[in-house]
C-alpha cells in the first residue's frame, strides 16, 4: 500500500505541474496538440529555419504538434487550415490524427521497408529541413539507452544526408549521457555548421537537447 500511495502522490504532483505549466496553457490557447510546439518555435525563431515554399520532413511526429507548427509556418497567412505553400511529410510508429496538408506515414523508421516508403513519398525531391523528435523507450540502463539513442540519431543523420539539399538543415533530439559526445562528433563530421540548443520549453529536469546540423558535407 505504501508504494501505491507514493505513486499517487507522484502522479498528483506531476499532474499539478503539468496543468500549471505555461507552455501547456499556451498550447491549449493556440490550438497545439502538445507543448513541444514551443520547443520547435524557439529553435525556428532563433535560426530562421522554416519558410514558405519548403519541403519539410517530421520524424517522430505524433501527436503532431511539430507538424502543426510547420504547417502554420508554411501557410501564406500562418493559418492552421487553408492554403499551404510547401510540403510536409511526417512519420511515426503510432497513429496521428490528420493535419490538413501533412502527408503521414505510420511505421518504424528503423525498418527498411518503411524507410523506402519515405524515399518514395519524397519522389526524388530535395528536402529543406529534416526534424527528428525520435526517441527510444528508455530502460534506465545507461549503456543500453545510449546505444538506442545513438542508433536513432544515426538513422536521422543518414536520412538527412541522403535527402537534404546543399543548404538544408537537420534538427535532432538527443539526451545528455553516454551518447551525447559521440553524436556531436558525428554531426561535426557531416555538417558544416553545428549548434546545440536547449529550448526554454524543455523542462529543467529534462536531459534533452537538440542538435542542429546545417549545410551537409564534411567541414
Q: What is the 3-state secondary structure (H, E, C) of 122-135?
A: HCCCCEEEEEECCC
Residues 166-194, mean pLDDT to the nearest whole number: 93
Domain co-membership, 67 together with 140: yes
Residue 135 belongs to a domain with what CATH number?
3.40.50.150
**Spatial distance between the Cα atoms of 90 and 65, rounded to a whole number of angstroms:** 11
Residues 73-100, mean pLDDT to the nearest whole number: 95
**Grid cell at residue 50:** 522554416
Q: Which of 210, 201, 199, 198 is nearest to 22 (CA)?
A: 201
**Spatial distance between the Cα atoms of 11 and 73, rounded to a whole number of angstroms:** 35
Identify the band that residue 109 occupies on the pLDDT scale cut at 50, 70 and 90.
confident
* 195 strand-pairing partners: 212
The pLDDT score that the predictor gives to residue 32 is 97
Task: Please identify every residue annotated as catalytic.
Answer: 173
The pLDDT score that the predictor gives to residue 149 is 85
Domain co-membership, 71 together with 152: yes
How many other β-carbons are positioned within 10 Å of the β-carbon of residue 113? Answer: 8
Domain co-membership, 91 together with 106: yes
- pLDDT, one tens digit per residue, over 1-25 is 333 444 554 465 445 555 678 999 9
Amino acid at each position: 500500500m505504501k508504494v501505491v500511495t507514493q505513486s499517487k502522490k507522484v502522479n498528483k504532483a506531476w499532474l499539478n505541474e503539468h496543468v500549471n505549466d505555461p507552455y501547456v496553457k499556451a498550447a491549449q490557447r493556440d490550438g497545439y496538440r502538445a507543448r513541444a510546439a514551443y520547443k520547435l518555435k524557439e529553435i525556428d525563431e532563433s535560426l530562421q529555419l522554416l519558410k514558405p515554399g519548403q519541403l519539410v520532413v517530421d520524424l517522430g511526429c505524433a501527436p503532431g504538434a511539430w507538424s502543426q507548427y510547420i504547417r502554420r509556418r508554411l501557410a501564406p497567412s500562418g493559418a492552421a487550415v487553408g492554403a499551404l505553400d510547401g510540403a510536409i511529410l511526417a512519420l511515426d510508429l503510432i497513429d496521428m490524427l490528420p493535419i490538413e496538408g501533412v502527408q503521414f506515414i505510420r511505421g518504424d523508421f528503423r525498418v527498411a521497408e518503411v524507410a523506402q516508403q519515405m524515399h518514395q513519398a519524397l519522389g526524388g525531391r530535395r528536402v529543406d529541413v529534416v526534424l527528428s523528435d525520435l526517441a527510444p523507450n528508455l530502460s534506465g540502463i545507461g549503456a543500453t539507452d545510449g546505444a538506442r539513442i545513438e542508433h536513432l540519431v544515426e538513422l536521422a543523420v543518414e536520412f538527412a544526408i541522403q535527402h537534404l539539399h546543399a543548404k538544408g538543415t537537420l534538427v535532432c533530439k538527443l539526451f545528455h549521457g553516454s551518447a551525447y559526445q559521440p553524436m556531436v562528433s558525428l554531426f561535426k563530421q557531416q555538417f558544416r555548421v553545428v549548434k546545440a540548443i536547449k529550448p526554454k520549453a524543455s523542462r529543467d529536469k529534462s536531459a534533452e537537447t537538440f542538435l542542429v546540423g546545417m549545410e551537409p558535407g564534411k567541414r
